């Protein structure tokens, strides 16, 4: 009979089985390690997202506090601006009053300089830059001199005589007159 030595084939079979067993073992290890690694990655992502959420919540609280502070400052600035506008308006009114107060002084000073010796004023009315003057004079020539002097004035424009007539007052002949002109200001 022929004998066949199967020992080497058995060895080959064992080696083959070991190789196959090693592949299955690796697969099992891989199947066990992959979920653990996946869980570790998911856990790490969860921890990072949680830290980010906490950081964003802290930032939100800080920004809300800063917003409250800034709103208070905005109200304070608005209050200051309102007060500043009120003060500027009051200063503007005071300057206008001061200017308006000076105008009659200048008008009266200019009239005083223009006034001939034997002419006097009975009424002066200023309304919106238009001046109406009533007065009396001894002669008509002196009234004409007054008109010519007023026409040369730096304050007055469009000087014109409205009326001039002779009347008797206490047995003295006197000329009453009315003048009208505008202010250059």
Based on the structure, what is the number of domains in the chain?
A: 1
Q: Residue 135: name the closest of 116, 153, 122, 150 by CA.
A: 122
| Axis-axis angle for helices 7-114, 140-151 (nearest 10) | 160
pLDDT at 19: 58
* pLDDT tens-digit readout, 101-143: 777 888 888 888 889 989 999 999 988 889 999 999 999 999 9
User: Quick check: is 98 in a domain?
Assistant: no
Identify the domain containing residue 127 by its residue range.
Answer: 115-183
User: Quick check: is 78 in a domain?
Assistant: no
Whether 13 has a pLDDT exceeding 80, the answer reads no
Q: Report whether 166 contacts 114 (CB < 8 A).
A: no
User: Quick check: is 76 in a domain?
Assistant: no
Mean pLDDT rounded to a whole number for the chain: 87
> What CATH number does residue 166 fall under?
3.30.1360
User: Quick check: is 155 in a domain?
Assistant: yes
User: Quick check: is 24 in a domain?
Assistant: no
Top pLDDT among 179 and 106 is at 179
pLDDT at 149: 93
User: Quick check: is 125 in a domain?
Assistant: yes
User: Quick check: is 154 in a domain?
Assistant: yes
pLDDT at 24: 73
User: Quick check: is 13 in a domain?
Assistant: no
Cα separations in angstroms, 16 against 23, 30, 49, 80, 106: 11, 21, 49, 93, 128
Q: Report whether 184 contacts 133 (CB < 8 A).
A: no
């Amino acid at each position: 009979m022929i004998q066949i030595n199967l020992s080497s084939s058995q060895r080959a079979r064992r080696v083959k089985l070991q190789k196959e067993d090693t592949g299955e073992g690796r697969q099992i290890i891989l199947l066990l390690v992959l979920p653990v690694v996946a869980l570790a990655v998911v856990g790490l992502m969860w921890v990072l997202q949680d830290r980010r959420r906490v950081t964003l919540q802290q930032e939100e609280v800080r920004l809300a506090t800063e917003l409250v502070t800034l709103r208070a400052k905005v109200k304070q600035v608005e209050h200051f601006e309102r007060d500043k506008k009120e003060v500027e308006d009051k200063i503007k009114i005071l300057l206008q009053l001061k200017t308006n107060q000076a105008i009659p002084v200048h008008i009266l000073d200019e009239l005083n300089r223009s006034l001939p010796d034997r002419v006097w004023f009975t009424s002066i009315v200023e309304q919106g830059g238009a001046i109406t003057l009533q007065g009396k004079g001894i002669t008509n020539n002196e009234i004409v001199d007054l008109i010519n002097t007023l026409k040369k004035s730096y304050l007055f424009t469009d000087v014109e005589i409205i009326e001039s007539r002779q009347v008797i007052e206490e047995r003295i002949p006197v000329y009453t007159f009315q003048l009208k002109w505008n202010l250059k200001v």
